[in-house]
Amino acid sequence: MRVALFITCVNDTLFPGTGRAVVTLLRRLGCDVEFPRAQTCCGQMHVNTGYPEEGRRLARHFVDVFAGYDAVVAPSGSCAAMVREQYPRLARTPAVPPAAPASAARTSAAPVPATASAARTSTGPAPAGSGSPGGLITGTVEAPAGDAPGSFAAEVAEVAPKVYDLSEFLVDVLGVTDVGAYFPHRVTYHPTCHSMRILRVGDRPTRLLEQVRGLELVPLPEADQCCGFGGTFAVKNPAISAAMCADKVRNVTTTGAEVLCAADNSCLMHIGGTLKRQRTGVRIMHLAEILAATEATR
């Protein structure tokens, strides 16, 4: 099976080890994994903050980059949900022409990298093997020249259903829950909002964790409550966000867990900051990193 890794901005910039863990895990399970370096941001923050046209440009680029793969796997329920749920809506909505020449000039200028890491590494070395993430996104997005009627929608309909959160791909596509992992630690799991409420991954992540040898999985009180991150929500509403995170951290510490696991590093980064400031000693780890761990790697 030819699988593409969709690394996402947060992971490419701040958590490249998560991307490497996904590659390690999927190759161990027999997948032919590739890392398309032309990939960029999926456009989630643009659409969610009122810039649908900028988001549409990124969506067009995404379907071009990831067309032809059997599956596209993302270590982020949030970004996978953006592609599966928002892209079809963007494709159905007529594009809005630029309102003024200044706007048109801005969109027709030289292509701009869609992530900070793209700008940083556009001339960097090629990844090892077929591609190993870590600040290696090099894609740029051109202003669209226009689509034939229905062509963008057809492309989205072809690509979007093949985009999976990691746990979905493992359980539903590969049909596995025991991935041969070993992680002898006490772990609690936080179900992130997009993976739980939009993708509806349900118990797939915990079913995978339950099969990890040596791992003790302990339930997280009020697990379904948001951690308070919410992307730009944490920036626009810092006091509310911090209060929500404090509640989440209090529940994490009552479990006695050594490690807090989740499927989105953005949420883990948010919770992890408070865990560290309170000197709880609880580590954060992405689901992929735990599932990639074996006795040989410890």
> Whose CA is closest to 31, among 69, 2, 67, 68?
2
pLDDT in tens, 128-155: 344 445 555 656 655 454 555 479 999 9
pLDDT tops 70 at residue 260: yes
List, in order, residues 6 or more apart from 173 with CB less than 8 Å away.
1, 71, 164
What confidence score (pLDDT) does residue 236 get?
A: 79
Residue 274, CB-side half-sphere exposure with 13 Å CA sphere = 21
pLDDT in tens, 262-281: 999 999 998 999 999 999 99
Q: Which of 1-10, 87-96, 116-125, 201-210 has the lowest mean pLDDT?
A: 116-125
pLDDT in tens, 213-230: 999 999 999 889 898 787
Amino acid in the structure at residue 85: E
**CATH class of the 186-297 domain in this structure:** alpha beta
Q: What angle do CA 138, 142, 145 make, to 5 degrees?
A: 155
| Mean per-residue pLDDT over the chain, rounded | 85
Q: Which residue has tokens 């002898």?
A: 184
Annotated domain spans of the chain: 2-173, 186-297
Residue 50, burial from CB neighbour count under 10 angstroms (0-12, 13-18, 19+):
exposed
Confidence of residue 49 (pLDDT cuts 50, 70, 90): confident
Residue 215, CB-side half-sphere exposure with 13 Å CA sphere = 28
- pTM of the full predicted structure? 0.81
What confidence score (pLDDT) does residue 33 get?
A: 98
Q: Which residue has tokens 């596209």?
A: 72
**Residue percentage of the chain with pLDDT more than 90:** 64
